[in-house]
Structure 1
């Protein structure tokens, strides 16, 4: 019977230690690109294939990570699911998903993921608030996406977040720069870290321009809420510029403005947030703040793997960028 190629065989051909081969096999970020390429070339030359079951017995790890999310109904969460799944697959990890709607509470979600043998968990967006108040089972590493930097979970693995506040400041400054006297904010749901950060950026931009912030109109990330709240904004002739907390909310608001006879951007300018795939196909094409969902997913998985492999914790902020399209213009004369 032909002997199975071992890590030691790969190490000998690549002229590295067995630990380095193990790190490459387990997609650890603590391997420089040249060494990783040399090890991977040796693996290909020898026909080495990791034995998942044996590795799990030896290391106590299953090469499976979990994803905890409040809901997959929002575009942002669905985009993040895809990004995390792609990043996990590229590192040789399987993915198990649990939504809070399927369990009674966060502790039950953690228990379910632990029973399925995951090595660590990525916690998304709205779920981070509940997760931060619930102790994870011993040994379960966490990375939370969009949470305050002082969140307890930071000590257990890491935090990755978009620079929501900077994106909101840029969006608001763009509208003020066009000559609008003020900018109204169609905010996201209370209790959401991302929504709070976008509101903070909006307030900071108005304060920098010495503009008193108008009352907030609050939605729940959906186009339906944007439509409902947008109707009230459309009824006020003083409203000429709106920063919406996400693109779906902006879409609903645009419909409300048009139905009220307020044309975008002739009568009202609007900026969204996220730059979802359809934003460029809105009528008119939507000016928005782009989040790099792929980068967020990549960094979240990388931070989780670092925590699993080496016990490291980290904090990463991903920049956002304003994308100017046709939904913004100077205010009406």
Structure 2
């Protein structure tokens, strides 16, 4: 019978590196106090043996589980999926493992979901709170553990600490760009009314119109789907196409482009189109889509850093940036900006 492989231990690492068990522990926990040549030898032994730390044993010794809970709901959408991936990567870099829990559609399950997540032994929770449906679950877990929400919800309205991306600023960048291309009237196809991102983008759009003295209107709200963009754009075309359409997401913008093409309208000559998210493949649409890129990787790192600071009681937690700026990516679905 083939023997069952045994998981390498810290003792095995010590023997391979020719050092004491205590030295291996120092390399893992306080590497800065170990001489570089010794540290390198231990790290080489760890790599050769494939040693990984036993988090359960460490938790018994330190009362810290090194587990972070991540609460989300719809990973089929680009924004939540990218944010979740970014958080998981940031946690791994910081030495934490992630316990991922998805919210079921029924909001009445919030108490059960929160209890299951807390029962897994997580030290704190990062909640991807993109819409109102996440509020009950975030409220439940925030009663008994540190929670940081990655959200566009205004901090004064949130039930937990909030870190996010400035959606309104992204919308403002879109309107400014369209103005510089000569556009005077813009239609915004809004996203779902219960999504904080959609609300912030709509607010940024209307504020920019007022500030820059442009004409415009909001239609919708729509869903985060190409069909929604197609149907709302088809309705717009019946009453006369606008100069520009700012879609609340790239998925909506795909439907916008299809409807315009179907009705023989050229982009951007007849109607300029802008999306939001910089979804994978946006540059390969015809024409390539002008859109707003969100710093998902950075927001994941900032949110994790903020949560860890809260867990450690670090005063620096109050100094963490709470809102990160997005970036406008100009492509061929809008006309060139005028130089003067």
- TM-score normalised by L of structure 1: 0.82
Are positions 1:271 and 2:277 aligned together?
Answer: no
The alpha-carbon deviation at position 106 of structure 1 amounts to 2.5
Correspondence for 1:126 = 130
Correspondence for 1:31 = none
Q: Distance in 1 between the 2:143 and 2:34 partners?
A: 33
Q: Which has the larger radius of gyration?
A: 2
The alpha-carbon deviation at position 8 of structure 1 amounts to 9.9
Q: Distance in 1 between the 2:69 and 2:244 partners?
A: 41
Q: Distance in 2 between the 1:150 and 1:315 partners?
A: 16
Q: Distance in 2 between the 1:206 and 1:238 partners?
A: 18
Are positions 1:188 and 2:191 aligned together?
Answer: yes
Q: Is the 8 A contact 2:131 2:194 kept in 1?
A: no
Correspondence for 2:61 = 58
**Unaligned 5+ runs, structure 2:** 1-10, 47-51
Are positions 1:94 and 2:93 aligned together?
Answer: no
Q: Distance in 1 between the 2:196 and 2:292 partners?
A: 17
- TM-score normalised by L of structure 2: 0.80
Give secondary structure in 2 for the equivalent of 1:218.
Answer: coil
Q: Distance in 2 between the 1:272 and 1:183 partners?
A: 13
The Cα offsets for residues 216-257 of structure 1, whole Å up to 9 and x where unpaired, read as 222122222112222112333241201111111111111111
Are positions 1:232 and 2:248 aligned together?
Answer: no
Q: 1:140 to 1:45 in 2, by over 3 A?
A: farther
Q: Distance in 2 between the 1:269 and 1:37 partners?
A: 55
Q: Distance in 1 between the 2:251 and 2:32 partners?
A: 42
Are positions 1:79 and 2:95 aligned together?
Answer: no
Matches within 5 A, 1:157-196: 158-196=161-199
Q: Is the 8 A contact 2:185 2:244 kept in 1?
A: yes
Q: Is the 8 A contact 2:82 2:296 kept in 1?
A: yes
Are positions 1:6 and 2:22 aligned together?
Answer: yes
The Cα offsets for residues 36-69 of structure 1, whole Å up to 9 and x where unpaired, read as 7666956545558755223201332221212111
How big is the alpha-carbon RMSD for the aligned residues of Structure 1 and Structure 2? Answer: 2.9
Q: Distance in 1 between the 2:175 and 2:206 partners?
A: 9
Give secondary structure in 2 for the equivalent of 1:305.
Answer: helix
How many pairs were matched up?
307
Q: 1:63 to 1:219 in 2, by over 3 A?
A: same
